[in-house]
Amino acid sequence: MHPTRVLTGIKPSGTPHLGNYVGAIRPAVVASREPGIESYFFLADYHALISVVEPARLQDATLQIAASWLAAGLEPEPGKVWFYRQSDLPETTELTWLLSCVAGKGLLNRAHAYKAANDRNRESGADEDAGVSAGLYMYPVLMAADILLFNAHRVPVGRDQIQHIEMARDFGQRFNHLYGEHFTLPDAQIEEHVATLPGLDGRKMSKSYDNVIPLFAPREQLRKLVFSMVTDSRAPGEPKDTAGSHVFELYQAFATPAETEAMRKDFADGIAWSAAKEALFERLDLELVSVRERYQALVAEPARIEALLQEHASRLREERVAPLLRELRSAVGLRPLTAGGAMPGTARPVRAAAQPVFKQYREDDGRFGFKLVEGDRTLLVAEGFASPKEAGQFIASLRGGRYDADDARLQRGEGVEAEDIRTALATMAEADARKAKARAGAAGGQDA
């Protein structure tokens, strides 16, 4: 059995806080130890260049985030858990260019980050592309290269990143269509139950709210921060609700089930907020003291981390990356003039035409949409449905032949005519009819 390859990118952003630890680092470390999984964790420093322009800051952030994951229990082991720095694999940028040559500009125009930048500029009255770098625009292609470089099967992401995985699939599919089957098309592993911790003020813990508890805060600072958490005015002896209590939510994220139930009883019995915070502080410190000590030891020895990253990058380049890039270069024609291949006048093999297919997705605002694609060409886009069921019903009506070119909910792709869509839908209907006939024949044979 071949292992399932799971790839996780870690953008250098300084020292993480408790929310990062509980929501991303801790579950990823646990998942990396599962049997049958080959994990790839990389420090996405190329990506960071889009927003970080201070070299020293990027270097420090890379050290801090690498030390954070190692201190939190990540156990790099070649062949099982890979840990490397993105920029130590220059083949990543070469693959980015190969994918750029098959990536549709229309698809990149719809990338969430790029659209958001355009919207902000329009609202302020500036040019749509003011302050937008080519790096931001090409971000999805670089991300696709990260994924396809190792033919990852799964990429754990939040819902806001699903679009990037879909784009990686589109680019990989287009490349495969032109040059043969080289890439595994990745699937998004949606993190439906990612823990979201409350911050000091009760809102989601986030650096943008300035309400975080740093993961490696010294013991006395940790205690001070915990005791600054906002609570209500209920006095000692008054029963307190666990629902909506930021102190209880944070405690529950670190406690055992038995400890959580004991604290729930204490809340019902009217525990004083000072006592609850003291219990929270002690529980946090119990888990974090060893993590904190490992982190301090690691950041004090950057050469140790550097050697680890270099070892993994070197082995990956030799065993995985370089062979793949040689294969891809040859596939696209970047090869010695003496190498075997198609001679002048040799007809190119005819590939089967891509079949039209509907793809459903969820937008950032929580509403649902779908698109009709044919290979790397987007024929039709529809957005704004309240539920996936509603979107699915609309797709069913289109498949049933009820396409209205004037329907305001539908937008045709760039250069697409209404007749192109009708032809694609007719092709799908014929395929559906053939499948139904085949199923009926199979069922008849079984009855006989």
End-to-end Cα, the chain, rounded Å: 38
For residue 353, the 8-state DSSP code is: P
The strand ranges marked E within 292-444 are 356-362, 368-374, 377-385, 410-412
For the beta sheet containing 81-85, the strands, ordered from the edge strand earlier in sequence to the opposite edge, are: 81-85, 37-43, 4-10, 154-157, 187-190
Angle between helices 112-123 and 134-148 in degrees, nearest 10: 170
Cα–Cα distance measured from residue 223 to residue 233, given in angstroms and rounded to the nearest whole number: 21
Cα–Cα distance measured from residue 96 to residue 168, given in angstroms and rounded to the nearest whole number: 11
Map tokens 């990852």 to a residue.
152
Main-chain phi, psi angles of 9, to 5 degrees? -95, 140
Cα–Cα distance measured from residue 316 to residue 150, given in angstroms and rounded to the nearest whole number: 9
Give the number of C-alpha atoms closer than 13 A to the C-alpha of residue 99, restricted to the C-beta side: 30
Q: Give the tens place of pLDDT for each residue, 304-325.
A: 999 999 999 999 999 999 999 9
For residue 366, the 8-state DSSP code is: S
pTM: 0.74
What's the pLDDT at 229? 95
User: Over the range 211-230, which residues count as b (16 or more CB within 10 Å of their CB) and which as e?
Assistant: bbbbbbbeeeebbebbeebe
Q: Give the tens place of pLDDT for each residue, 320-345.
A: 999 999 999 999 999 999 876 554 44
| DSSP H or E segment with residue 156 | strand 154-157
What's the pLDDT at 349? 46
Give me 117's structure tokens. Answer: 């930048």
What's the pLDDT at 254? 94
* CA angle centred on 349, ends 345 and 355, rounded to 5°: 140
The architecture that CATH gives domain 4-195+301-332 is 3-Layer(aba) Sandwich (3.40)
Cα–Cα distance measured from residue 282 to residue 49, given in angstroms and rounded to the nearest whole number: 39
The architecture that CATH gives domain 216-299 is Orthogonal Bundle (1.10)
Q: Compute the chain's Rg from CA coordinates.
A: 26
Distance of CA 301 to the CA centre of its chain: 30
Determine the number of helices (DSSP H) and then strands (DSSP E) in the chain: 17, 9
What's the pLDDT at 341? 58
Of 220, 229, 197, the C-alpha closest to 292 is: 220
What does each of the 448 residues of the chain score in pLDDT, given as a tens digit?
A: 689 999 999 999 878 999 999 989 999 999 999 999 999 999 999 999 999 999 999 999 999 999 999 999 999 999 999 999 999 999 999 999 999 999 999 999 999 999 999 999 999 999 999 999 999 999 999 999 999 999 999 999 887 789 999 999 999 999 999 999 999 999 998 866 566 899 999 999 998 899 999 999 999 999 999 999 999 999 999 999 999 899 999 999 999 999 999 999 999 999 999 999 999 999 999 999 999 999 999 999 999 999 999 999 999 999 999 999 999 999 999 999 987 655 444 444 444 456 788 887 766 666 778 888 887 788 889 877 887 778 888 888 888 888 888 888 888 888 888 888 888 888 888 777 776 665 555 445 545 4
| DSSP H or E segment with residue 83 | strand 81-85
Identity of the amino acid at 88 = D
Cα–Cα distance measured from residue 170 to residue 165, given in angstroms and rounded to the nearest whole number: 9
Of 271, 233, 225, the C-alpha closest to 250 is: 225
What is the domain partition of the chain in residue ranges?
Answer: 4-195+301-332, 216-299, 356-447
Identity of the amino acid at 175 = F
User: Over the range 23-61, which residues count as b (16 or more CB within 10 Å of their CB) and which as e?
Assistant: bbbbbbbeebeeeebbbbbbbbbbbbebebeeeeebebb
Query: How far, CA to CA in Å, does 192 sit from each of 23, 159, 189, 204, 308?
Result: 11, 8, 9, 17, 32
Report the DSSP beta bridge partners of residue 154.
6, 187
Neighbours of 83 (CB within 10 A): 25
